[in-house]
Structure formats: C-alpha cells, structure tokens
A and B are shown apart, each in its own frame.
Chain A
Amino acid sequence: MMNNFPPGFVMIIGALLIPFLPHIIRQIYMLVLILTSAYTLTLGFGIHTKITLMDFEFILFQSDPLTLPFAIIFHVAAVLNIMYGAHVKLWNQHMAIMSYSGAAIAAVHAGDLFTLFVWWEATAITSVFLIFAGKTKRSYGAAFRYLIVQIGSGMFLLAGAILLMSETGNAEFRNFDINSLYGQLIFVAFGIKAAFPLLNGWLQDAYPEASEIGTVALSVFTTKLAVFCFAKSFAGTDILILIGVIMTFFPMFFAIIENDLRRVLTYCLNSQLGFMIVAIGIGTELAINGAVAHAIVHILYKGLLFMGMGAVLYRTSTCKASELGGLFKYMPITAICTIIGAVSLSAFPLFSGFVTKTLILSALGKEGQVFAYFMLLFSSAGVLIYSGIRVPFFAFFANESKIKSKEAPLNMIIAMFSASILCILIGILPSYFYNILPYQIHYQPYDFSHIVGQIQLLGFSALAFICLWHFKIYPSEINSTILNSDWIYRKMLPGVCLPLLNLVKNLNQKFYKFLEYLFVTVKNIFANTMIRNKVFDREVGQDTLVVVQLFIVILVLIFMWKIYF
C-alpha cells in the first residue's frame, strides 16, 4: 500500500500529526516520515501510481533518470532542514517545512500537468507560512505578494494544461513546443518560479523576510522545482540560453550594493539559477547533466550559506552588513561552515561548485556558444566578490565586532557541518556524484587546465577585491533598499494606477453632479413654465400655455424625425 503513495505524499499527510506531538518526538517523527518517503525511490523507473477521476487519468507517481537526482537531493535537504530547525519549539514552521518539502518532492514525480498543478500550488500555499513566520510587518506584506505571484504562476500552468488537453487530448508532462500557445503559457509559469529576469521580484522580496529556518527551506525547493520542470519540458530551447545569460549577469550588480546579507544571497541564487537555465537551453546530455548537478550542489552550498546567515540572524537579530562584522571571535564554527559554503559557491577546486561549473562551461565550449561561455565565466569571476568573499567577510571579519553573540545552537552546527561535509565530498569524489546524474558520462573536471585556469580566475578576482578594500575604494555599507523588479508592482503600478483611478472617480462624481444640475434646471424650467402658469417668469393665460406646449411638442417631434429618418 505504502508503495503506491508518490514520494513526498506521506510527508504531506504525516505533517497533519505534527501539532499533536511533543518536541523531541516530533523531530524523530519528521525524520521517519522523510525516510519512509525516500523508501519509495527504490521502486525503480516507470509509472507506479495512476488514478482515474472524471475520465481523466492522473499520473501521481512517475520516475525516470531525471526525477531521481532531484528526489534524492530534496530528501537530503529536507533532513538538513529538520536538523537545522530542531531548536524551534513551535510546531507551525515544522509543519510548513514538512508539507512544503513533500509537495515539492511529489511535484517532481507528477506525470501529468494537472497533478503537477496541484503540487505546484501546494508548494506555494505551504511555503508562505515560512515567510509569515518572519513575524514582522514587512514579512506579512512580502508573504502576501509571494502568494499572489506563486498562485499566479499556477494559473498560467493550469491555462497551459487546459489548452494542451483541448488540443492534443492529453496533458502528459513531457517535452513541449515553445512555439505553441500552451507551450508559452507553461513556459511563463515555470519562468515565474525560476525567477526569470523581471519576474524575479518575489524571490528577493520574500526570501530574506522569512524566518531564519524558513529561508533555508525556501532556498531549496521552489526554484529548483522550476529548474527540474525546464529540464523536463524545455531542454534545448534556444531562448533559454539568452534568458539564462541575463539571469547570471544582472543580479551581480544588485548583490554588490545590497546591504542585507540574506538578500545578497538571493541575488546570488538568482545568478546561479542562470547557469542552470543556460545549460538546459543547450540541451545536450553533458549540459543537462551539468544543470542537474549544479542544481544539486547549489541546494547544498546555498543552503549552507543561508544556514550560516540564519545562525547569525538568530544570534544577533540582524543580517545587515552595515551592522555586522567581527563575529568570527564569537561564532567560529558558523564562520568556517559559511566559508566552506562560499568557497563551494565560488567553485574552488576540491569543492562542490567546481565539479559542476566546469561541466556546464565544458558543455558550452563544446557547442561553440562563445558568448554564453564568456558571460558565465565573467559571472564565475564576479560571484567571488559579490557573494563568495563579501558575505563571510562582512559578517565575520570586516571591522571590529559591533555585536557580541554566542555560537549557533548545536542542532544548527550539526546541520551546517553535514552540509559542509557533503560540499567537500562531492568536490573530492566527483565520479561517485556523477553516477546519480540523468546521463552516464565520463568527465574529468580535475585536469591541469581547469585547475590552473580556475585558480587564476578566482585568485585574481580575490586580488581585485583586496585592492579595492586596501585602497579604500570599496565603499562602506549603507542601510538602504535596492530597487528590484518588484518595484513595478509595489511602486510603479500603484503610482500610475491610483491617480488614474482617482481621476476616473472624480470625473464620475462631476458627471453625476452635472446630470443632477441638468435635471434640476429642466425641472425648474418646467415648473416655471408649465405648472405655475408662467413662461419665463411672466404670468400667462391658459391658451398661451397650450400654444407654448404645442410648440415644444412640435419641436421635439421635428427633432426626433430628423434623428430617425
């Protein structure tokens, strides 16, 4: 019976019991749920569960070589999230994380678009509670905006699915043609969740406002689910290369001037998503492997960085670069784990980012995509200064310590340590890691050219940062808000639409006043002429009134005759 449940489903159903369990038992129970869900991954590839409702066959559980790596990393990330959040006594975030992870895992195994739609919306509805858990006025606003955008993306998906169903008779989740209308609708739905350029506002708006454990969970599932969907449905679509390049390029500049370090990481997340999208756009076996591999290691090292910053936020109540600094003295283990995350992100040899970035860059080089190749190389150099150095430097080293704090709680340290070990293991033993990727490849990231080239690239990027800092060109951090694409619906549209709405309202009021005035005037004229035996203030006899009335009636008749004939 258990085998028939799609992976993740047991986590969603099991999450309903979470509020009724005491704290310690709850933690064990959640780990058991994840293990039970992971057990279903051993069933092998193929369609395992279907149900028929209203003459439609819903494929609830379908697995293939592409779903497996995502399912594995989602389960691993769910375990890390549980460990990281074990210090939180309240049940609400645990329940949200468990059902959110479950929904994302179930979405990966959906075999048709309607099933995908259900889990797609479920990820939005369950994850929004993690943003509410930020418990600030800003987080409430951000949560509502996040929900609207995510539900909106689901609407695009549903519209695409219905069109596909009406055109082809089935809504199988497969490779789609971007030139069809349903393909474009589905593309937009995935694009919103993957934080495409100008559709990315929700990401930087909502994630940094979530609770410290919420951001870690959020950084894992939503965007990677979108990457999985693109890999499944739009592999080899050329436009993705351009979109991916723009995605890697622009967030870098915003990340450098952003003050909130968790927001810096969301810009960085966006930029790294670009790497995956470019690779999916290339669509070769090597490139798809690169995209999937990068998604997996990105979940680990970005999760690790968010964990580090979450620990800082938990202990110091702030994540602003302008207010932090010198925390290495108080939080050395957190600092070291964050540095391992940053080094992995920057793709130093022997760390996880290196074995996946070289895969993507090699795929680009092999396909002759020179422009995209150099843009990604440019971004690889940039990532070091906008995130790799900047985040640990401003949190743990820059300036003297402004805030005194304690080391992170033990459970946080265990989670960060585990993620660090995984980052290093993948970096040291890439061949084992490559085995779980969708296509069997023989790729050797560690050769003389890759190592020397990468260390030169990163070393001199670091040197550039050192020069800027040493010669005091690097400006001090300022408390500020950096405008992003969410400005369009937070400021521009209200700024343009509210005055327009007021104008229409005013015009409407004026029109009603004019009608009222007209009515009163006509009424007065009639009152003066007909009723009180007066024509324009003069006393008249009955016969004169009859003549005047006849005259008016004739005028009206002539007028109507002119109009109608």
Chain B
Amino acid sequence: MKYLIDKIGKINTSVLFICIIFLILELIGHRHGETSIEDILFFPAIFGFLSCIFIFGIAISLRSLFMKDEDYYDE
C-alpha cells in the first residue's frame, strides 16, 4: 500500500481503490443499463476507459491539422 502511494500518489491510489470497490459492487449487486449491451459485466468501466483513450488519441492526432501558432489570426 505504502509502495503504491509512494509510486503513484495519494489521489491516484484512492481513484484506483474507488474503481476496484465499484467493480466488486457490481459483482455483489445486479446492475442493469438502459440497453441490453450495457448489461455486459463491467461494461461502463471498459467503455469509460477505452472512450478516454480513444478521445485522447484522436485529439492528439488532430493537433497537426488544427493547431497553429498563437498569433495565427493576428498576422
């Protein structure tokens, strides 16, 4: 535990623990979604993680296309 806090920090460790707790909670109770696909085990967790990686990946690749100098419009 101490190793984890030293390695990734207090806040990050607590986020990790909250994630694990709510994964366990899903195993205990019955979670159902608005659509049937959502009923897959740990769907929101997987969906959330992959969505963020995807958004990040696309955004960074868009940098070369849409990112210009700060005074681009002032020239």
Binding site for B on A (CB under 8 A): 137-138, 141, 252-254, 256-257, 361-362, 364-366, 370, 373-374, 377-378, 381-382, 384-386, 448-449, 452-466, 468, 470, 473-475, 478-483, 490-491
Contact = CB atoms under 8 A, between A and B. Distances in A.
Residue of A252, A253, A459, A473 with most chain B CB atoms under a 10 A cut-off: A459
B44 A253 contact: no
- The dominant DSSP class at the A interface is helix
Contacts of B49: 460-461, 463-464
User: Top 7 closest A-B pairs, CB basis?
Assistant: A365-B34, A464-B52, A256-B59, A456-B44, A457-B48, A460-B48, A381-B51
B59 A257 contact: yes
A456 B26 contact: yes
B15 A462 contact: yes
B47 A377 contact: yes
Residue of B15, B31, B52, B59 with most chain A CB atoms under a 10 A cut-off: B52
B69 interface: yes
Interface string B23-64: 101100111111101100011111111011101101110110
Nearest to B55: A382
Size bin of chain B's contact surface: 35 or more
B8 interface: yes
B6 interface: no
A481 B44 contact: no
Contacts of B65: 483
Contacts of A386: 55, 59
Given A448-B31, A481-B69, A385 B56 contact: yes
Nearest to B60: A475
Contact of A481 (B8, B22, B72): B72
B18 interface: yes
A480 B62 CA distance: 13
Contacts of B53: 464, 468
A461 B59 contact: no
A274 to B, nearest CB: 15
Given A464-B56, A466-B15, 10 more contacts: A253-B58, A256-B56, A365-B35, A382-B51, A385-B52, A457-B48, A460-B46, A464-B52, A478-B67, A481-B70
A384 B47 CA distance: 13
Nearest to B65: A483
A480 B69 CA distance: 5
A543 B18 CA distance: 115
Interface of B: 8, 12, 15-16, 18-19, 22-23, 25-26, 29-35, 37-38, 42-49, 51-53, 55-56, 58-60, 62-63, 65-74
A452 B8 contact: no
15 contacts: A141-B73, A253-B58, A256-B59, A257-B63, A365-B34, A381-B52, A382-B55, A385-B52, A460-B45, A461-B48, A466-B16, A475-B60, A481-B69, A481-B70, A483-B65
A370 B52 contact: no
Contact of A460 (B12, B44, B73): B44
Contacts of A479: 70
B50 to A, nearest CB: 8
Contacts of A366: 34
B59 A252 contact: yes
Given A257-B60, A481-B69, A470 B12 contact: yes
B1 to A, nearest CB: 17
Nearest to B25: A452
Contacts of A456: 19, 22-23, 26, 42, 44-45, 48
A479 B74 CA distance: 14
A276 B26 CA distance: 30
A468 B48 contact: no
A66 to B, nearest CB: 25
B34 A373 contact: yes
B16 A463 contact: yes
A480 B72 CA distance: 8
A453 B60 contact: no
Contacts of B19: 456, 459-460, 463
A464 B56 CA distance: 10
Contact of A257 (B30, B34, B66): B66
Nearest to A259: B70
Residue of B29, B51, B63 with most chain A CB atoms under a 10 A cut-off: B51
A449 B25 CA distance: 10
Contact of B15 (A374, A457, A463, A473): A463
A362 B33 CA distance: 9
Contact of B52 (A254, A374, A461): A461
A479 B72 CA distance: 11
Contacts of A481: 67-73
